[in-house]
């Protein structure tokens, strides 16, 4: 029997989100229904609400979730009813040209549920990032549900489902930070502070946190930043050079989604250094005006980081283990827990810079 549950949707660009009733179908072949325990509020949800991702309204928002498997469809073997899972938006196919060449982190045809969740009038919902988890239950492809140690706090490990994984992976996987490297992170929200954490885990010895918000910089120090730069009063390029013997950082991570900040990250980098862009641009943004000779002359690499080039099946259990061992403070990303009706207010707090993550507890 399809189930009616509470869900938070965005009906039209820029309009406030709405708590309503959604219909979750029974899981079909290869699908699972998950009882959502918690779901973080990511800046990408706000991009969806504002029409910054695409126009496939109405969206069922939410995608940083932990919960338990409630029901499985035919042929599902990887998870069973009751398993504690973190949801992911990279259920790799194993068949595409990226997967076949041993690069599943770039999988070009990741799996989502084939069926759609709907409103009670039958209107089909587009699930944010193929998940949609600001709701009591959601429907996903089985591969989107990654089992992790059930003793972990859902509100904390659920954040591995998007922003925290994207930030840690931007440093560890995309940026390939090595012991002794210098790293500068531009924008220290949930994603940027996760990149600071990832840089620390990878052994970076200089970690420069850049933000316009003093409170975010304070948090970054707790995450392992060795230097902070207030971009509202200080030129970040100069400040990063100063903190790195005049050279620039080995790895500069853009975690805002802003061409001017990408340009700063580009020029704050040492010769042969890497720029990682993990912030998501909106469709109207153009690549910053950078002379080609500067690109060529400096060498190195410019790399976008989708989801921190993670593999959920590899990374979620490992990072959960580090969390449980006290080596990765995921609790520090949970600024507050809120209810399903509080998401507009959580967006406002995010925009005012008051939180790393507001996490909805169902
Ligand atoms: N690539 C991915 O897979 C992925 C995954 C999740 C989120 N994201 C994206 O990452 C970005 C950050 O997400 P978040 O949830 O951390 O957002 P957030 O709003 O919590 O954080 C953004 C931070 O950037 C700071 N900032 C804004 N303008 C700045 C400037 N000019 N200079 C320095 N700092 C500035 C803000 O003060 C804030 O601390 C968003 O674009 C989001 O969509 C990407
Ligand atoms: Zn694939
Ligand atoms: Zn996200």
The domain spans of the chain are 3-161+329-361, 168-305
Residues 6+ apart with CB under 8 A from 73: 26, 27, 28, 29, 30, 31, 32, 142
Angle, helices 214-223 vs 190-201, to 10°: value is 30
- Count of residues making up the chain: 362
Contacts 24+ apart (CB under 8 A), 10-13: 10/48, 10/49, 10/57, 10/58, 10/59, 10/61, 11/57, 11/58, 12/57, 12/58, 13/49, 13/50, 13/51, 13/55, 13/57
CATH class of 168-305: alpha beta
304 C-alpha to center of ligand 2: Å? Answer: 18
109 C-alpha to center of ligand 2: Å? Answer: 5
Residue whose CA is at the smallest distance from ligand 1 atom 22: 189
Per-chain mean pLDDT for the chain: 97
Mutation to probe ligand 1, out of 41, 130, 161, 187 (largest number of atoms < 8 A from CB)? 187
Atom of ligand 1 nearest to the CA of 42: 15
Give the pLDDT confidence score for residue 141 in this predicted structure.
Answer: 98
Query: Quick check: 1 pLDDT over 90?
Result: no
Q: Kindly report, residue by residue over 305-342, the tens digit of the pLDDT.
A: 999 999 999 999 999 999 999 999 999 999 999 999 99
353 C-alpha to center of ligand 1: Å? Answer: 10
**Cβ of 272: how many Cβ atoms within 10 Å?**
10
Residue 139 beta carbon below 6 angstroms from any ligand 1 atom: no
Residue whose C-alpha is closest to residue 87's, from 102, 72, 69, 74: 69
Whether 3-161+329-361 and 168-305 share one fold: the answer is no
Residue whose CA is at the smallest distance from ligand 1 atom 40: 279
How would residue 41 be classed by pLDDT, with cut points 50, 70 and 90?
A: very high
Q: Tell me the fold of 3-161+329-361.
A: Quinone Oxidoreductase; Chain A, domain 1 (3.90.180)
Residue 259 beta carbon below 6 angstroms from any ligand 1 atom: no
Q: Residue ranges of the alpha helices (H) in the chain?
A: 43-49, 97-100, 154-157, 163-169, 190-201, 214-223, 236-243, 259-267, 292-298, 312-324, 343-351
Of residues 283 and 19, more confidently modeled: 19
How would residue 148 be classed by pLDDT, with cut points 50, 70 and 90?
A: very high
- DSSP code of 124? B
Between vectors from CA 274 to CA 322 and to CA 87, what angle results, nearest 5°? 40
SS3 content of the chain, % helix, strand, coil (to 5): 35, 25, 40
Mean pLDDT within 184-208:
98
Give the pLDDT confidence score for residue 283 in this predicted structure.
Answer: 87
Residue 87 beta carbon below 6 angstroms from any ligand 1 atom: no
Angle, helices 236-243 vs 259-267, to 10°: value is 30
Residue 353 beta carbon below 6 angstroms from any ligand 1 atom: yes
191 class by beta-carbon count within 10 Å (0-12 exposed, 13-18 middle, 19+ buried): buried
Atom of ligand 1 nearest to the CA of 188: 39
How would residue 117 be classed by pLDDT, with cut points 50, 70 and 90?
A: very high
Among the bound ligands, the one closest to the CA of 109 = 2
Atom of ligand 1 nearest to the CA of 47: 43
Query: Quick check: 98 pLDDT over 90?
Result: yes
CB-CB contact of 159 with 43 (8 Å): no
Q: Report the relative pairing of strands 249-254 and 182-186 from DSSP bridges.
A: parallel
Distances (CA, A) of 149 to 8, 10, 153, 205: 28, 33, 10, 31
DSSP 254-315: E-S--HHHHHHHHHTEEEEEEEEE-SPPPTTPPPP---HHHHHHH-SEEEE-GGGG--HHHH
Give the pLDDT confidence score for residue 198 in this predicted structure.
Answer: 98
Q: Kindly report, residue by residue over 75-97, the tens digit of the pLDDT.
A: 999 999 999 999 999 999 999 99
Mean pLDDT within 39-66:
96
Give the pLDDT confidence score for residue 147 in this predicted structure.
Answer: 98
């Amino acid at each position: 029997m399809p189930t009616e549950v509470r869900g938070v949707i965005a009906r039209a660009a820029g309009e406030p989100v709405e708590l309503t009733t959604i219909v979750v179908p029974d899981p079909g072949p290869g699908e699972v229904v998950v009882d959502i325990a918690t779901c973080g509020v990511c800046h990408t949800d706000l991009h969806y609400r504002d029409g910054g991702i695409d126009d496939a309204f109405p969206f069922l928002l939410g995608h940083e979730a932990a919960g338990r498997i409630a029901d499985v469809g035919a042929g599902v073997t990887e998870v069973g009813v009751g398993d504690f899972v973190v949801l992911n938006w990279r259920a790799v196919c194993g068949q595409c040209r990226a997967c076949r060449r041993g690069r599943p982190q770039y999988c070009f045809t990741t799996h989502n549920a084939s069926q759609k969740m709907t409103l009670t009038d039958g209107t089909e919902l587009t699930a944010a990032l193929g998940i949609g988890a600001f709701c009591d239950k959601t429907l996903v492809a089985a591969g989107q549900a990654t089992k992790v140690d059930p003793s972990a706090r859902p509100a904390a490990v659920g954040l591995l489902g998007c922003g925290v994984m994207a930030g840690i992976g931007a440093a560890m996987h995309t940026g390939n930070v090595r012991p002794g490297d210098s790293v500068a992170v531009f924008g220290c929200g949930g994603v940027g502070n996760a990149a600071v954490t990832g840089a620390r885990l990878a052994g970076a010895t200089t970690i420069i946190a850049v933000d316009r918000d003093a409170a975010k910089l304070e948090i970054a120090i707790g995450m392992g930043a060795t230097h902070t730069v207030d971009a509202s009063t200080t030129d970040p390029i100069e400040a990063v050079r100063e903190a790195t013997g005049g050279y620039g950082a080995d790895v500069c991570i853009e975690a805002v989604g802003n061409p001017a900040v990408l340009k700063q990250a580009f020029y704050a980098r040492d010769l042969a250094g890497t720029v990682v862009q993990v912030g998501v641009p909106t469709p109207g943004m153009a690549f910053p005006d950078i002379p080609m000779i500067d690109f060529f002359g400096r060498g190195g690499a410019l790399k976008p980081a989708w989801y921190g080039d993670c593999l959920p099946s590899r990374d979620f259990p490992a990072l959960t283990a580090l969390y449980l061992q006290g080596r990765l403070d995921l609790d520090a990303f949970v600024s507050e827990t809120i209810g399903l009706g509080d998401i507009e207010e959580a967006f406002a707090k995010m925009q005012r810079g008051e939180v790393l993550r507001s996490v909805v507890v169902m």
